[in-house]
Chain A
């Protein structure tokens, strides 16, 4: 390993190592990490590990329609005779893509706006940012996303754009609440008196104290976004058949409950396991940061 001379970088790396050590000592977060890695692995290699990869798309085999779980089809088959396990493997791809793309688009602007509005609480900057946020928050995100999707052609891509457009205010509002409380703390006032720049105060004094909450929220949100995506597909405004989307699969299967329970239950379980993985990791982060704080 090359020798690192930069003392700042060295400290960072050591902090990361320490963090990973503590994270890995927490059974909850390790289990979560395992779920997420497993889902990510399956999603990445779905065409190679799915028992019937051709069943993910347009495929019909009425001879094997609506079969209960067996050794041949571990999760049974749907009304078109498609292997449900294979479709779930491909479904993970759409769920993960939904969560990752939406959060990547949403977190940076949401957090920065929240920091600025919180720091300048009571001024016109606060008013402008938070009133725009309020316009988007004035209606539940699922409803605006539904409205946007109903206007656009229903597809996975449009569903992601619609959810992203409605999601950033959640972060602005969360960070705003934290920042407006933190800006009255002594360490912020000390930095102000010492003549620190605004950027330093926002990103080096206030932001680090919000990180644990932001991470907890992101872990939950990975799940929420996946849930909202599946809700859009459930109504028919997201992914379209024959796309193997987990929400669409639950909606299709719900028609055949309770007799052919496996058609809806296994995709529902797949959604829950994915979301659970991210939640457990988030809990791991939270415990980690709580340790750092004391």
Chain B
């Protein structure tokens, strides 16, 4: 199957997935006990104002009609008004999403890079002191909730040692570069504000590392176990027997096929990273999408919750397609199987 055909097929399927997700989140968000409009307007608002707003949001209609209105408005780029910020949700998303994407991508790169590196080294030198140190590190990483990492890092490196800033995206004295993408690092790179770039990266270190450690430990574990398994396989022995250089054996015959389970899990680990961002952004006061999302959930802000989930769905579908492409490249059997099965 060619890449283009694969992509086309995945895009069509993604639309169905998003449709399913919209049904799921709509169902979840509309079984709310209590009256969200009353909550938004406060107990003192007159009854007619509540009725007006309810009619405006189509909450007085039956559920299937509500879904129809919600979906058709969403397809026209209107995700409704946030009951709490009283602004269009789309405007809120535009403001908050880039900050979270920036943080999550930075954390994701740290996670994948160091996870695979640590796992590969540990698997290659299994049962040595290197392996044991990586093992201890990955145990600590896997068993510690990311909010505990966040709290500890904030205390230790933020308040006690004062190596890193404790909140926000930029220091007070630094001028924010003109907004192009909304990601401060990318904007400052594009416009040549290198002081802002350094400062923004500096602010990202603690939250990104708190987010990355859990997944990193997971990647390291899985990479290590596959590599130490594959190391005993006959094809490695025969490659060595044919006199293939050690580094080529390691990279091409050992590492490449060993990454299949790691990469399949990578997409899911990125997902749990995005989930943990909900807590970590709260702790580091990161003005991002996840903090917006968790506040919307705690306040039962219908439109905002639905929009947050849908947007994360789109982000995650893109990540999943990338993961599938990489796995297909790593394991040609999967591609062959897909064609034969048709």
Contact = CB atoms under 8 A, between A and B. Distances in A.
Interface of A: 120-123, 126-127, 131-132, 134-144, 146-148, 150-151, 153, 170, 173-174, 177, 180-181, 183-184, 213, 216, 220, 223-224, 227, 230-231, 234-237, 247, 250, 254, 257-258, 264, 268, 271-273, 275-276, 279-280, 286, 290, 293-294
Contacts of A127: 13
B143 A279 contact: yes
B262 to A, nearest CB: 11
A224 B20 CA distance: 26
Contacts of B320: 134, 137
B297 A146 contact: yes
Contacts of B274: 140, 143
B309 A180 contact: no
B71 interface: no
Contact of B271 (A121, A140, A147): A140
B261 interface: yes
Contacts of B293: 143
Contacts of A140: 271-275, 312, 316
B178 interface: no
Interface string B239-278: 0000000000000000000001100110010011111101
B175 interface: no
Majority-rule SS of B interface residues: helix
B297 A142 contact: no
Contacts of A136: 24
Contacts of B275: 140-143, 146
B28 A148 contact: yes
B297 A177 contact: no
Interface string B26-61: 001101110000000000000000000000000000
A139 B21 contact: yes
28 contacts: A122-B338, A122-B340, A123-B341, A131-B20, A134-B20, A134-B317, A136-B24, A138-B18, A139-B21, A140-B312, A146-B278, A146-B294, A151-B300, A170-B268, A174-B264, A174-B265, A177-B264, A181-B331, A181-B334, A183-B337, A224-B272, A230-B145, A231-B147, A231-B279, A235-B282, A250-B147, A271-B143, A290-B228
B220 to A, nearest CB: 12
B29 A151 contact: yes
B278 A142 contact: yes
B147 A184 contact: no
B337 A142 contact: no
B65 interface: no
A224 B17 CA distance: 25
A144 B300 CA distance: 14
Contacts of A135: 17, 20-21, 24
A122 B29 CA distance: 34
Given A134-B320, A135-B24, A231-B147, 20 more contacts: A122-B342, A123-B342, A134-B17, A134-B317, A138-B20, A138-B313, A140-B275, A143-B308, A144-B309, A146-B275, A146-B297, A150-B298, A151-B32, A174-B264, A181-B331, A216-B225, A227-B145, A237-B298, A258-B160, A290-B225
B21 A138 contact: yes
Nearest to A282: B221
Contact of A131 (B13, B312, B333): B13
A150 B297 contact: yes
Max chain B CB contacts within 10 Å: which of A140, A272, A276?
Answer: A140
Nearest to A234: B147
B190 interface: no
B29 A147 contact: yes
A147 B272 contact: no
B93 interface: no
B225 to A, nearest CB: 6
B338 to A, nearest CB: 5
Interface in B195-249: 218, 221, 225, 228-229, 232
B27 to A, nearest CB: 10
A223 B143 contact: yes
Closest 10 CB pairs of A and B: A122-B341, A142-B275, A140-B275, A135-B20, A150-B297, A140-B271, A275-B143, A138-B313, A272-B143, A134-B17
A142 B272 CA distance: 7
Contacts of A173: 264, 268
